[in-house]
Amino acid sequence: MQSNTIPIHSPMAAAVISIEVSAGDAVHAGQRLATVESMKLQSSVDAPQAGIVGVIHVRPGQTVQTDVVLMELIPETHSSDPAQPSQTSTGNDLVELHAWQAQSAMTQDAARPKAVGKRHAKGYRTARENLDDLIDAGSFVEYGQLAVAAQRGRRSLEDLRTNTPADGILTGLATINADIFGETASAAAVIVNDYTVLAGTQGFYHHMKLDRIIGVALDKQLPTIMYTEGGGGRPGDTDVQIGGGGLDVSSFVEWARLCDEVPTIAVNNGYCFAGNAALFGCADVRIATRSSWIGMAGPAMIEGGGLGQFAPTEIGPIEVQQKNAVVDLDAENEAHATALAKQLLSYTQGDLPEWDCAEQEALRTALPADRRFAYDVRHIIDTLADTASFMEITREFGTALVTGFMRIEGRALGVIANDCRGLGGALDCDASDKAARFLALCNKLGLPLVSLCDTPGFMVGPESEVEGAPRRMAALFRAGARLRVPMVTIILRKAYGLGAMAMAGGSFKIPVFTAAWPTGETGPMGLEGAVRLGFKKELAAEANDEARNALFNKLLDTLYEKGRATESAAATELDAVIDPADTRKIILRALC
């Protein structure tokens, strides 16, 4: 080898695939000189600098060892160009990139104008439009984007990619509300069923994708939002030839496990039947648009069971599912539903540094002067809460009780309150179920609770017993016994019997602070009932109605004086009687 030449060595033990130059060729820095292959992987041997190719020592097909000299390079005397990476393979490499880009583009709305048009014609949004509105821009990491329906045996791959993109379900990780709470607190998992793909039905890869993202969310302990629109199981996935009844599916139990661990929100628009409805029903909070029909079976399954023929719009309309607590929040449309989901999630994401509220002095005159008159407790909640922060859920079920989320000085809280306009504020079976569920939800979410009590107690009577009162009302005590979050109870007016104790988590000593406004009154049962029951003989002994009414009112006034909140506080049954205008600051101090 000449002394003025640069040896070009083999970088590894390999086979020489090709020699790209000939002796005497002028080459530039970084130009490919040869290609070698080792372990089925080809590597380029490039010129370290510009020069003239000298002697070539190997030929294509020859096997060489590491550092064997392949050829010699005579450097240019005045060249100082640094070696550049070889560019000769770039064009071939881009073929795969472009193919992937084209395949990915087929999953987007722009590639499916007909399906998108049908969706828009109904006044609905596409799955990706809902996704984009829900999450922070640019934050989505998609799982399983290139999946298609397991129907390759009956349809072409082009057809499947065109008509079954992502196998009808979008899954991935994203952030939601990061501009308010930061990226870490805003991390979430997102699942959006796509009704434009085979009516949102659940196929083989659909379930695999669902199981995968549920597992990731469980591992990372991420809150999860799912859009549930769809028709349930899919019978047409013929690529999967498995014996049995097709019940080897774990999605439902895995979703239920996730719902036990992290905050989950379900959003529905349109038809939601069978398996999709089961997923919807598991979520912590369930939102549905006015254009929703939700049922554990669709028309075909009902008819197949010999139960008659029904249109999809006859099965589980929103009006029905609100009253039975299947739906917690109703929305005008998908945009409104998405905004509600983002607000709901925000209560679990952290405190707000900025807030304002109404003048608290208004609470001093918030109750009617006559203790027998009804009022809307929501006005009191709105005054107590930071402006526009109160969100009521499950309003149409158990209407004697209000449940929802609010903020005080930016801090997220759960709130329960008796609504005296329904059954006088008495807790019937539905209201008890509603309260027990909400206490458990706040316990899971780690949200402190505020209870605004104005109740004559549990609803009584033969009809209440038909509904299973002992079991359903006692569930409220069990929910209170499981509380691990602090509770503050404020008695606005009436606090009678077991129902009042249940509003305090089972006992006035369960809350970290139990107080009353000066209008508060306590007792083992409603005052009027106590007089009628306790003084039955005395009342019956009166000669006429006028005398009987006079005695009744006298006895009532006596009991009222004994049951005043100030008397209860004096007996340490209550922790304090407070100025209504101080309620906000007292709640926060008690929760510190």
Would you give per-residue pLDDT tens digits along the chain (592 residues)?
666 889 999 999 999 999 999 999 999 999 999 999 998 899 999 999 999 999 999 999 999 999 999 999 999 875 545 545 444 444 556 788 888 888 999 999 999 999 999 999 999 999 999 999 999 999 999 999 999 999 999 999 999 999 999 999 999 999 999 999 999 999 999 999 999 999 999 999 999 999 999 999 999 999 999 999 999 999 888 888 665 656 778 999 999 999 999 999 999 999 999 999 999 999 999 999 999 999 999 998 898 889 999 999 999 999 999 999 999 999 999 999 999 999 999 999 999 999 999 999 999 999 999 988 999 999 999 999 999 999 999 999 999 999 999 999 999 999 999 999 999 999 999 999 999 999 999 999 999 999 999 999 999 889 999 999 999 999 999 999 999 999 999 999 999 999 999 999 999 999 999 999 999 999 877 767 767 777 888 888 888 888 888 888 787 777 777 778 998 999 999 999 999 999 999 999 999 8
> Alpha-carbon distance 215 to 255, whole Å?
9
Query: What is the chain's Cα-based Rg?
Result: 35
Give me the residue label for tokens 């929802």: 404
> Alpha-carbon distance 425 to 361, whole Å?
25
Q: What is the number of domains present in the chain?
A: 3
Q: What is the CATH number of the domain that holds 12?
A: 2.40.50.100
445/583 same-domain check? yes
Rounded alpha-carbon distances, angstroms, from residue 406 to 293, 401, 429, 442, 520? 29, 16, 25, 12, 23
384/305 same-domain check? no
Q: What is the pLDDT of residue 241?
A: 67
Give me the residue label for tokens 């979410």: 445
Q: What is the pLDDT of residue 469?
A: 95
For 155, counting Cβ atoms within 10 Å of its Cβ (0-12 exposed, 13-18 middle, 19+ buried), the class is: middle
Asked whether the beta carbons of 72 and 6 are under 8 A apart, the reply is yes
417/508 same-domain check? yes
Give me the residue label for tokens 């769809």: 230
DSSP states of 124-147 as a string? Answer: ---HHHHHHHHSPTT--EEESTT-
DSSP states of 374-440 as a string? Answer: ---HHHHHHHHSBTT--EEESTTSSTTEEEEEEEETTEEEEEEEE-TTTGGG-B-HHHHHHHHHHHH
Number of helices (H), then strands (E), belonging to the chain: the values are 21, 23
390/331 same-domain check? no
φ/ψ of 170, rounded to 5, equals: -100, 125
Last-in-domain residue among 79, 102, 131: 79
Q: What is the CATH number of the domain that holds 486?
A: 3.90.226.10
Q: What is the pLDDT of residue 245?
A: 59
For 554, counting Cβ atoms within 10 Å of its Cβ (0-12 exposed, 13-18 middle, 19+ buried), the class is: exposed
338/394 same-domain check? no
67/167 same-domain check? no
For 101, counting Cβ atoms within 10 Å of its Cβ (0-12 exposed, 13-18 middle, 19+ buried), the class is: exposed
- Asked if the structure places residue 110 within a domain, the reply is no
- Asked if the structure places residue 538 within a domain, the reply is no
DSSP states of 156-186 as a string? Answer: -HHHHHHHSGGGGEEEEEEESSHHHH-TTTT
pTM assigned to the model: 0.85
φ/ψ of 42, rounded to 5, equals: -95, 145
- Asked if the structure places residue 100 within a domain, the reply is no
- Asked if the structure places residue 515 within a domain, the reply is yes
- Asked if the structure places residue 185 within a domain, the reply is yes
- Asked if the structure places residue 539 within a domain, the reply is no
Q: Is 189 helix (H, G, I), strand (E, B) or coil?
A: strand
Q: What is the pLDDT of residue 3?
A: 67
> Alpha-carbon distance 340 to 58, whole Å?
71
SS3 content of the chain, % helix, strand, coil (to 5): 40, 25, 40
Q: Is 295 helix (H, G, I), strand (E, B) or coil?
A: strand
481/380 same-domain check? yes
Distant-in-sequence, close-in-space partners of 388: CB < 8 Å, separation ≥ 6: none
75/198 same-domain check? no
> Alpha-carbon distance 416 to 393, whole Å?
10
Distant-in-sequence, close-in-space partners of 380: CB < 8 Å, separation ≥ 6: 363, 366, 417, 452, 492
Last-in-domain residue among 79, 95, 127: 79
379/276 same-domain check? no
234/276 same-domain check? yes
Asked whether the beta carbons of 134 and 342 are under 8 A apart, the reply is yes
233/330 same-domain check? yes
Neighbours of 180 (CB within 10 A): 14
Q: What is the pLDDT of residue 242?
A: 62
Distant-in-sequence, close-in-space partners of 542: CB < 8 Å, separation ≥ 6: 548, 551
- N-term to C-term CA, the chain: 84
Q: Which stretch of DSSP H or E encloses residue 119?
A: helix 113-121
Please name which of 230, 363, 219, 350 lies closest in space to residue 295, comparing C-alpha atoms. 230
Give me the residue label for tokens 């929910």: 479
> Alpha-carbon distance 71 to 268, whole Å?
69
577/442 same-domain check? yes
Q: Which domain holds residue 436?
A: 360-520+564-591
Distant-in-sequence, close-in-space partners of 141: CB < 8 Å, separation ≥ 6: 172, 173, 174
Give one word for 61, left, alpha or beta, with left for phi > 0 and alpha for psi -120 to 50: left
